[in-house]
């Protein structure tokens, strides 16, 4: 009886598919039932190699460059020979009538499968299992909607093009720079690559800035405000602050507004007195002690006047879903996780716990045919309502007990893994006296305090 051979990207996915379809017996190298054989790769099994017809050109010699093969050959990656032999034997089995690509639903998964087929030299029919979720229900639905091989050819071509372009840039640039820098001897390899080299340049540029960084004193003004319902803290900020305004222009504007005379204002902003990069500048930060003191004197102990109060209902669109890059960035900011650690967790949530959809993607939207799954998921979960509230102050408002926070920038310094791991997420809680109001939509409240 003929069977379909299912090839997955990793053993765990093969086990999930076998469990979802049922009736399988596990052997050493594959699962088997009356209808299917399931075997697996272990990530990338092959590397591109210079064709045999170009072996004469495959030498470290400037005269032999560039190496531009008309077609590429494949060679099994190190320690992958046994797995390659298992898959090739199963593909050539006379009882296998067709092959189902069950590698990850993305460009790299497609490339892994295509190289396996190319190396095996088979022309058996191919179908594509496209999974966005690893639940048993999703797997069974995926098998009911297998995609045709013709439909996947654009993705396969994109995967091959990217891999071959990386190979061409790497082999030619590495050999050219190595031979040029070593005077033709090629004793020390200078490795270059399409992604590796620009990434390294970014890291080097940043490291140089860090090494050249000089601490600079900055000032922020904070104060306590007393109202009939209690006290709350506030922070001064420059309402007219703009990123495209230079710090010299901003300083002159503030000096004019405060009627201050500071002859050495521009000199204090000189890089020799400390680094002042664009990323350091923000509305609450001041770089002159004299300006900070003047603002403190004008505000401390004075009555504040509510100049403007606005209240209006607003609606907020739900944020987009995470793609891998956004997820890695937020996990690093909130928990100090490395990109690799975040990927490991996401992959486990996808494969083992079936809690998220396929994580290795740059898409932030679900496919249109996923709507029934979404409706089913939402119907099976109880949705907790979020408290919606507005804030309301009562009584007169005046600032008192202003104090000046004087610190030094450390924005150029590195943060160790240990300190990152100690970061904890901070949860906001409202101060006493804030009134909570039920509303159909969030209500934003803004009050502007008139300066003396």
pLDDT in tens, the chain (452 residues): 799 999 999 999 999 999 999 999 999 999 999 999 999 999 999 999 888 888 888 888 888 899 999 889 999 999 999 999 999 999 999 999 999 999 999 999 999 999 999 999 999 999 999 998 888 888 999 999 999 999 999 999 999 999 999 999 999 999 999 988 877 555 688 899 999 999 999 999 999 999 999 999 999 999 998 888 889 898 999 999 999 999 999 999 999 999 999 999 999 999 999 999 999 999 999 999 999 999 999 988 888 777 788 889 999 888 889 999 999 999 999 999 999 999 999 999 988 888 888 888 888 888 777 787 788 777 876 443 333 333 333 333 333 333 333 333 333 333 333 333 333 333 333 344 433 333 333 334 444 443 33
Residue where one domain finishes, among candidates 140, 171, 202: 171
Is there a domain that residue 209 lies in? no
10 and 109 both lie in a single domain: yes
Distance from C-alpha of 404 to C-alpha of 291, rounded to nearest angstrom? 11
Q: Residue 136 belongs to a domain with what CATH number?
A: 3.40.50.140
Count of other CB atoms within 10 angstroms of residue 308: 9
Statement to judge: residues 13 and 152 lie in one domain: yes
Beta-carbon-side half-sphere exposure of residue 269 (alpha carbons within 13 Å)? 18
Is there a single domain that holds both residue 309 and residue 414? yes
Task: Look at phi and psi of residue 212 and say left if phi exceeds 0, alpha if psi is from -120 to 50, else beta.
Answer: alpha
Asked if the structure places residue 241 within a domain, the reply is: yes
Does residue 287 lie in a domain region? Answer: yes
Task: Check whether residue 307 and residue 423 sit in a common domain.
Answer: yes
Domain match, 308 and 413 both: yes
106 in a structural domain: yes
Cα 134 from Cα 378, distance rounded (Å): 18
Cα dihedral 145, 146, 150, 152 sign: positive
The neighbouring-strand residues paired with 447 are: 309
Q: Maximum CA pair distance of the chain?
A: 95
Long-range pairs of 424-432 with CB within 8 A, sequence gap ≥ 24: 425/334, 425/335, 430/391, 431/230, 431/231, 431/232, 432/229, 432/230
Q: What does the DSSP 8-state code read for residue 304?
A: B
Of 144, 171, 198, the one marking the end of a domain is: 171
Residues with catalytic roles:
358
What is the model's pLDDT at position 238?
95
CB 50, CB 20: distance < 8 Å: no
- Are 255 and 160 part of one and the same domain? no
Q: Do both 11 and 104 map to the same domain? A: yes
Residues, the chain, total? 452
Cis check for the bond before 430: say yes or no (omega within 30 of 0).
Answer: no
* Residue 144 and residue 264 in one domain: no
Same domain, 224 and 157: no
**Same domain (yes/no): 150, 231:** no
**Is 327 within the bounds of a domain?**
no
Asked whether residue 165 falls in the same domain as residue 221, the answer is: no
Residue 92: which domain range? 3-171
Q: β-strand 36-40 against 3-8: which pairing, if any?
A: parallel
Is the Cα torsion angle 337, 340, 344, 349 positive or negative in sign? positive
Q: Is residue 310 part of a domain?
A: yes
pLDDT value of residue 352: 85
pLDDT given for residue 428 in this prediction: 37
E strand or H helix that includes residue 225: strand 217-227
Full 3-state SS string of 182-197: CCCCCCCCCCCCCCHH
183 lies in a domain?
no
Tokens 């998220």 sit at which residue?
A: 356
Same domain for 165 and 52:
yes
Q: Are 146 and 125 in contact (CB under 8 A)?
A: no
CA distances from 41 to 205, 258, 394 (A): 39, 71, 67
Query: How many domains does the chain divide into?
Result: 2
Whether 396 is in a domain gets the answer yes
Contact 130, 142 (CB under 8 A): yes
């Amino acid at each position: 009886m003929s069977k379909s051979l299912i090839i997955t990207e990793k053993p765990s996915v093969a086990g999930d598919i076998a469990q979802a379809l049922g009736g399988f017996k596990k052997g050493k190298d594959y699962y088997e039932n009356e209808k299917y054989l399931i075997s697996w790769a272990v990530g990338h099994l092959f590397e591109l190699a210079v064709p045999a017809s170009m072996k004469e050109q495959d030498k470290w010699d400037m005269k032999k460059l560039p190496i531009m093969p008309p077609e590429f050959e494949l060679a099994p990656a190190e320690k992958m020979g046994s797995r390659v032999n298992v898959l090739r034997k199963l593909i050539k089995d006379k009882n296998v009538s067709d092959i189902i690509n069950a590698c990850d639903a993305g460009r790299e998964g497609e490339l892994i499968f295509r190289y396996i087929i190319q190396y095996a030299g088979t022309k058996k029919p191919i179908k594509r299992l496209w999974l966005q979720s690893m639940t048993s229900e999703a797997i069974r639905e995926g098998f009911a909607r297998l995609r045709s091989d013709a439909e996947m050819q654009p993705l396969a071509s994109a995967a091959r093009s990217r891999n071959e372009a990386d190979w061409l840039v790497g082999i030619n640039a590495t050999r050219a720079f190595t031979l040029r820098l070593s005077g033709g001897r090629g004793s020390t390899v200078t490795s270059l690559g399409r992604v590796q080299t620009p990434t390294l340049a970014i890291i080097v540029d940043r490291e140089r800035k860090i090494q050249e960084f000089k601490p600079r004193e900055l000032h922020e003004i904070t104060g306590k405000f007393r109202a009939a319902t209690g006290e709350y803290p506030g922070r001064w900020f420059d309402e007219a602050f703009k990123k495209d305004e230079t710090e010299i222009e901003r300083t002159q504007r503030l000096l004019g507004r405060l009627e201050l005379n500071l002859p050495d204002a521009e000199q204090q902003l000189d890089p020799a007195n400390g680094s002042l990069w664009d990323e350091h500048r923000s509305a609450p930060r001041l770089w002159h002690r004299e300006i900070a003191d003047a603002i403190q004197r004008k505000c401390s102990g004075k009555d504040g006047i509510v100049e403007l109060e606005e209240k209006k209902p607003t609606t907020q669109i739900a944020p987009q879903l995470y793609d891998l890059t956004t997820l890695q960035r937020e996990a690093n900011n909130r928990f100090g996780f490395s990109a690799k650690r975040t990927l490991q967790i996401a992959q486990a949530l996808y494969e083992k716990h079936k809690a998220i959809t396929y994580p290795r993607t740059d898409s932030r939207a679900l496919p249109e045919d996923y709507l029934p799954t979404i409706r089913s998921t939402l119907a099976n979960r109880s949705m907790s309502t979020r408290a919606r509230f507005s804030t309301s102050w009562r009584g007169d408002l005046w600032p008192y007990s202003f104090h000046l926070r004087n610190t030094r920038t450390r924005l150029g310094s590195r943060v160790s893994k240990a300190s990152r791991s100690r970061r904890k997420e901070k949860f906001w809680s409202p101060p006493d006296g804030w009134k909570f109001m039920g509303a159909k939509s969030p209500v934003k409240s803004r009050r502007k305090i008139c300066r003396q």
